[in-house]
Structure 1
């Protein structure tokens, strides 16, 4: 937008006025019993719906209040750690099986799983129009390109507004299939434009898992079997996390209006893009890089602890007092996703010859919690969350930081679709429409000429 000096001044004036009108006394939330951020006073989420899909457990309620417990995550009633251990034990890829479970409500038999794998690969290719559109899109943010590409898919859908079960499932399968292709093509397109390198358009391969196909389309043959299995694990761990996380709730809110699938999923992408949600692993990555540069002896716990104490006291790094990747809204003693991912990170670090960095992160994980407890007390129990190790794992695989958050979307699309389908499948469903309490003073209108 091009503006002149007068218009620039008007915008400044409007912004200056906004400074005052956006202020609300925080004490009013408690006084009027308004659940700020849909949170209770103890930090737990306000129950706003029912679901059969996922359950996030980090504490239990007792007569004395909340009791911290080891974290558990359930998909359709199955504990995720059990699902993951089965996949790792059999040394196979599991994301497709989890996607089938989340979409249909049950685990597939071997024939159904094989058919579903073929279905996903068959739908991974993009129309030439969509591929050309990705190449021609302006901007360098892949989440933005992903959202615009999803909205474009509406144009090529013969029944985009049909919310029958069959059509919703067809759209779900197509979106799960196409997200890896869109993200891989978008990254290679941006690299081509920025560095003048050849533009590689690699087509998905039959017989490859979704994780393998993504790495192949992005990197060619420059990845190892362990890289692919680790990415598959990450996709499983991030596929679903209950209906209360911000992006999934966004999908459910928009779906409750009976809007089309593409509009609803694009809204979820916009939510996930935020640094407080899907962009959190990038914050962890930048913080770890800062610690590597400012801590001389990575094996000296005393030195590490001193620096972490400075961060919590707002004397170092970005002076927010936050250690990114530590703490979670629900999990208390442990985040089961972080526990599972940490073990894969160890194996991958061994393969890549980067155990020194892994052990450094282990020390940070332990000492960061202690630093927060020392300065802020132990009232809120803390643990490393999945973001703490995910950025490190992406880096070990050789994935660029530009696709960290898009990868989260690539995993979570199946959870979004499952929740959208559930929201629209309710009998007697109602539009989600919470209330806000207005605290503005009543004023009399004054004519323009008298102000």
Structure 2
């Protein structure tokens, strides 16, 4: 058979598979199945306990879900207080957040200095890794390259399968420190081998913060401003953790619960985050905004903009999905605290970079979308902008290439993943094994010659 014949056969088989994947939605109600581990009111099914992160977006009053202003806590400390604290002192905050999430308490000056020194030493990739694992096997997708780099790290670890807390912590610290380097080198390899651009491989610096190192590594001239580093640091802080129920953290806990190695668990989390319904959402926001900018002649005309947003909801415009990307969240209702903190900084950077008109468009879409949603859907569901709504715009103003938007999310979120992995293995010690009910009717086996 030639390729065309095989392609035709695969197409026929795909139709068979597709037909066998459709389950009557009524069965989910009949058997009280929580699709997506969601209750009928949109709240998540309670499947675990954690001390790492808390996401608050609503309250349950006498069994009824009621909207509330969003809060995000790291180890019991409000993220707004954390951000306010390190920004007032004029220093980076991501390293402090890493320490807090991993060890459960804020570091003093000596502990933070020691932690930074250890992380600075761990940033250097193993000998031969850059050449053999990244440059010799470039990928068009940096998330794919990141996952492959994580799995490849297993082969460079002299003790990869030990799941003692000490060994998992050592592996976690190495991966957290090396993720920016893996990401940056993966991007440089892609740009060179697929984009025919010059190849820049800069060494990470132990004296720089995580945010500073990222800008140092991805830019040809290594240059960045303090304001740029501070803003990127804030983005990293806000993405570091979001409770055990988000898809990638839950994936980490599910895979870890089997007792597998750290690299397999973190690679699974990277795969989860890559999805457009999770970490890839900010790219969809950016694509949607570009579509709106081209379709709407007057960005400040509320009537024209509302009409176009309505056409998006009616599946008539943009990608015909019926979604206004960046609006609404699985947990947050009245507000996403991460969005509020990021929006404030985004406005200042937009003013400095001459992109205030674009920022005003974002802000107007944020204000009009809930109203348009009610008009089109006929429901009073509370929706607000989430962190993805502004994060892509911030990356754009920082001159960060779009293909790095989701990998940057991973660079930050790996801290939460590692914390959840250790909590799952050290504290829960039971494999996650939910139930699925088979609804297929019994069939008799038919001999091959009689089919």
- TM-score of the aligned structures, taking structure 2 as reference length: 0.97
Shift of 1:350: 1.5
C-alpha offsets along residues 89-110 of structure 1, whole Å, 9 cap, x if unaligned? 2221000000000000000001
In structure 1, the partner of 2:414 is 413
Is the contact between residue 121 and residue 210 of structure 1 (CA under 8 Å) also seen in structure 2?
A: no
Is the contact between residue 53 and residue 244 of structure 2 (CA under 8 Å) also seen in structure 1?
A: yes
Is the contact between residue 306 and residue 369 of structure 2 (CA under 8 Å) also seen in structure 1?
A: yes
1:128 aligns to what SS in structure 2? Answer: coil
In structure 2, the partner of 1:400 is 401
In structure 1, the partner of 2:124 is 125
Shift of 1:6: 4.1
In structure 2, the partner of 1:437 is 437
Where do residues 101-116 of structure 1 align in structure 2 (5 Å cutoff)? 101-116=100-115
Q: Distance in 2 between matches of 1:105 and 1:141?
A: 34
Q: Distance in 2 between matches of 1:289 and 1:299?
A: 15
Is the contact between residue 284 and residue 387 of structure 1 (CA under 8 Å) also seen in structure 2?
A: yes
2:384 aligns to what SS in structure 1? Answer: coil
In structure 1, the partner of 2:270 is 269
Q: Distance in 2 between matches of 1:130 and 1:12?
A: 39
C-alpha offsets along residues 118-162 of structure 1, whole Å, 9 cap, x if unaligned? 111111111232101201114311011111111111001111001
In structure 2, the partner of 1:8 is 7
Q: Distance in 2 between matches of 1:356 and 1:91?
A: 29
In structure 2, the partner of 1:157 is 157
The answer to which of 50-59 and 120-129 deviates more is: 120-129
Q: Distance in 2 between matches of 1:406 and 1:160?
A: 24
Where do residues 12-31 of structure 1 align in structure 2 (5 Å cutoff)? 12-31=11-30
Where do residues 129-140 of structure 1 align in structure 2 (5 Å cutoff)? 129-132=128-131, 133-140=133-140
2:55 aligns to what SS in structure 1? Answer: strand
Q: Distance in 2 between matches of 1:273 and 1:3?
A: 34
In structure 1, the partner of 2:204 is 204
Whether 2:66 is the aligned partner of 1:60: answer no
Shift of 1:375: 1.1
In structure 1, the partner of 2:40 is 41
Shift of 1:321: 1.4
Is the contact between residue 203 and residue 217 of structure 2 (CA under 8 Å) also seen in structure 1?
A: yes
Shift of 1:223: 2.3
Whether 2:88 is the aligned partner of 1:89: answer yes
Shift of 1:192: 1.2
2:58 aligns to what SS in structure 1? Answer: strand
In structure 1, the partner of 2:243 is 242
Shift of 1:197: 2.7
Is the contact between residue 280 and residue 406 of structure 2 (CA under 8 Å) also seen in structure 1?
A: yes
User: RMSD across aligned C-alpha pairs, in angstroms?
Assistant: 1.3
User: Which structure 1 segments of 5+ residues have no match?
Assistant: none
C-alpha offsets along residues 193-222 of structure 1, whole Å, 9 cap, x if unaligned? 133332111111232101000110111334
- TM-score of the aligned structures, taking structure 1 as reference length: 0.97
Q: Distance in 2 between matches of 1:360 and 1:185?
A: 34
1:140 aligns to what SS in structure 2? Answer: coil
Q: Distance in 2 between matches of 1:279 and 1:263?
A: 21
Is the contact between residue 123 and residue 206 of structure 2 (CA under 8 Å) also seen in structure 1?
A: no
In structure 2, the partner of 1:141 is 141
Is the contact between residue 223 and residue 397 of structure 1 (CA under 8 Å) also seen in structure 2?
A: no
**Alpha carbons of 1:448 and 1:6: their partners in 2 closer, same or farther (altered >3 Å)?**
farther
In structure 1, the partner of 2:315 is 314
Shift of 1:272: 0.6
Shift of 1:341: 0.5
Q: Distance in 1 between matches of 2:173 and 2:325?
A: 34
